[in-house]
Amino acid sequence: MKKIISFSLFVLFSPLAQAQSLCPMTNADAMQACLDGKLQSAIDEMVSDLTIIKQRHAENDALLKSLELSQQTWDAYRKTQCLNVYQTWQNNAQQQAVTASCAIELTRQRNQFLQDYYLK
């Protein structure tokens, strides 16, 4: 019984289930196009918020330099983390979808952090 519950929880929260919940298409190409669009939207929103933050704090050079460094560090983290996901899902038909889902999730988390700490 415990194995069934554990397996059910894994399926419910697996990276593939997350990708499918973002873009519930049955066609792999349509799903990938949808995920690519969602990733671009998340990036665009983050860039927009970064622009607002930079405008609000234009007079604070130290903050702007620190923000730029933190953004570069975060971007390197996102790329490394999602590369690891890509490698983990090697030889799996859903490799691209799961990797895109990783990038979407991390970008949304970063944007939420930026909103919470810089824009409120």
Q: How confident is the model over 92-115, as pLDDT tens digits?
A: 888 999 999 999 999 999 999 999
Q: Taking residues 4-13, what's their average pLDDT? A: 44
pTM: 0.83
Task: Judge whether 31 and 41 are in contact, CB under 8 Å.
Answer: no
Q: How far is CA 53 from the centre of its chain?
A: 20
State the Cα angle at 67 between 65 and 72, rounded to 5°: 95
CATH class of 2-118: mainly alpha
Tell me what percent of the residues of the chain surpass a pLDDT of 70. Answer: 89
Q: How far is CA 73 from the centre of its chain?
A: 15
Distance CA 64, CA 45 (A): 19
Q: Mean of the per-residue pLDDT values for the chain?
A: 88
pLDDT above 80 for 69: yes
